Amino acid sequence: MRDLACALLLTVCGLISVAADARDVAPEAVHIDAAMERWMPNIVRDERIGGIGIVVIRKGRIIWSGHYGEQSPGVPMTEDTAFNTASIAKTVTAETLLALAAQRRVDLDEPIAAYVKSPDIGQDPRYRLLTTRILLSHRSGLRNWPDDYPDGKLAFDWTPGTRYRYSGAGIELAARYAEAKTGKTLRTLAGETLLHPWGIDRMAIAELPAWSLSNLALPVDSDGKYLDPATIYPGLREGTGIGAAYDLITTNDAYGRFLERLIAASRKPSPMRRVRETILAPLAGDERYGCEPAFSRHCPDRYGYAFGWQVQGYGRHTILQHTGNDEGETDLVYFSPDRRTGAAIFVNGANGWAAIVRALEIIGDEPELAAYYRGLVEKLLHRRLASLGDPGPFRK
């Protein structure tokens, strides 16, 4: 069967060979490739996105990747295309902090106030309540960024640890704590705890390394026009940002290998896995992420933010996932410790959600997640998505 699959699709064969049990997954990769080739070029055109890059994991290993559309005007996407994956950066920040905690270099429950000064909220008594665990689960009581406040200064809307609100500023405070505690930048810490040990060389935090300069997927607005990244991502070229909450530059393959390592690390119970999967900020009833039966045929039994990841549970089945949204960029990554599946879907386009939902349905390994995001798109964007039928090859 493997020889037949390779004869039919030579481009898939090389990818399939990376899996130890390739004979079992090769037919699924062939199916995914054929379905993507059938649907994705038209989806890229109809949704007015630049392009989409996808990597798929089965049984804990990458089995397929594909790229459709353009990374910049007239330049096709390839496996070397580098995406600014926006808030996907939070997953790397979370895993870096977990690794540091496992090495006892940071304490997830230590107040950050002794290490991080804040001119905006440092004098508020509630500042002394902030810990890395509270910040990474979006329970800081802070809004997303200072510019969400009328005076441009951070302020608590409620006591930390009591309620959910998504806050990139909170993630950056957590990263600053780790930097102050260790005396090293987040970029250095991520490199020495994760990226270098795991052999991931095409992932960069808050900088544009040489390998990315000619391969960068330029952002595309809702009208399908390419945007100048220098005006959207200030400081990225100079490498002056922190990169904890946004500005993770990576290829699909590099992030796929990141997911492979997380799946491998989740094979057995561990304190890190328990932190990663324990929901601290439930999202049921949330205005944005709340699942409504009117839109989704199968809502999660439990879902919310854990430590840096949004976790969804369906009975004994668990999915960890995160989205990324920036001007001209839309992304979704996920993995399941029990099914050992995962994917990284990156779009250089503001209109990326319809394409992501259809990619999920074609991949077919997580129908619950696909239904959840189809429901969110229909609820939040007030748009009914045409069905692609049932192209997914995955069967439980």
pLDDT tens for each residue of 117-154: 999 999 999 999 999 999 999 999 999 999 999 999 99
Q: How confident is the model at residue 233 (pLDDT cuts 50, 70, 90)?
A: confident
Distance CA 59, CA 206 (A): 31
pTM for the structure as a whole: 0.91
Output the pLDDT for position 291: 94
pLDDT at 218 over 50: yes
Q: How confident is the model at residue 225 (pLDDT cuts 50, 70, 90)?
A: very high
Q: How confident is the model at residue 25 (pLDDT cuts 50, 70, 90)?
A: low
Output the pLDDT for position 90: 98
Longest dimension (CA), the chain: 68
Output the pLDDT for position 384: 87
Output the pLDDT for position 385: 87
Give residue 243's Cα distance to chain centre: 14
If 0-12 CB within 10 Å is exposed, 13-18 middle and 19+ buried, where does residue 277 land?
middle
Tokens of 79: 């496996």
What is the pairing mode between strands 310-314 and 281-282?
A: unpaired
Tokens of 195: 């990226």
Please report which helix (H) or strand (E) contains residue 330, including its range: strand 329-336
Tokens of 312: 């969804």
- How many other CB atoms are there within 10 angstroms of residue 44's CB atom? 20
pLDDT in tens, 315-327: 999 999 999 998 8
DSSP state of 146: G
pLDDT at 281 over 60: yes
Task: Spell out the SS3 assignment of 256-323.
Answer: HHHHHHHHHHCCCCCHHHHHHHCCCEECCCCCCCCCCCCCCCCCCCEEEECCCCEEEEECCEEEEEEE
pLDDT in tens, 148-173: 999 999 999 999 999 999 999 999 99
Output the pLDDT for position 264: 97
Residues 133-160: b if buried by 16+ CB within 10 A, e if exposed: bbbbbbbbbbbeeeeeeeeeebbbeeeb
